[in-house]
């Protein structure tokens, strides 16, 4: 996808503050500047979301997420991380290129990175019958 903003970043056509990279994935500071240390991890090849990427792409991106997250905790003084992904417009995906957000955390930082759920609307067993995978 020539016009995809993350593809353009991966090709070096748009600037970014790179945190980590290898030949298949990269991590860079989120341009939103909304939380200190907010990092995005993307595959270099275009994939719309986690739902349609290949197995190897998914594995490489998750390894990259783990590498960066461990670095933040082991070398940068953070105590944990939130890892967030939205796959599909209904889930809130705003850029049509697979990406994971890493939000580094410290105890008492005041960041509320977990969504507030208002409660289930259906009976749990009915939903379970619909979503369970065959044995």
Q: Which residues participate in catalysis according to the annotation?
A: 99
Bridge partners of residue 66, in order along the sequence: none
**CA distance linking residue 86 with residue 81, whole number of Å:** 17
Positive or negative, the CA dihedral 119, 123, 124, 126 is negative
Return the structure tokens found at 40.
């995005």
Name the nearest CA neighbour of 112 among 121, 103, 120: 103
């Amino acid at each position: 996808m020539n016009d995809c903003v993350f593809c353009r970043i991966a090709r070096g056509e748009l600037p970014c503050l790179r945190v980590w990279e290898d030949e298949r994935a990269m991590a860079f500071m989120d341009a939103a500047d909304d939380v200190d240390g907010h990092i995005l991890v993307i595959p270099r090849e275009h994939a719309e979301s986690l739902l349609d990427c290949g197995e190897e792409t998914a594995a490489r991106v998750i390894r990259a997420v783990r590498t960066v997250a461990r670095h933040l905790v082991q070398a940068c003084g953070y105590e944990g991380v939130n890892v967030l992904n939205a796959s599909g417009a209904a889930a809130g995906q705003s850029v049509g290129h697979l990406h994971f957000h890493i939000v580094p955390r410290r105890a008492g930082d005041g960041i509320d990175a977990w969504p507030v759920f208002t409660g289930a609307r259906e009976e749990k067993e009915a939903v379970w019958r619909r979503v369970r995978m065959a044995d």
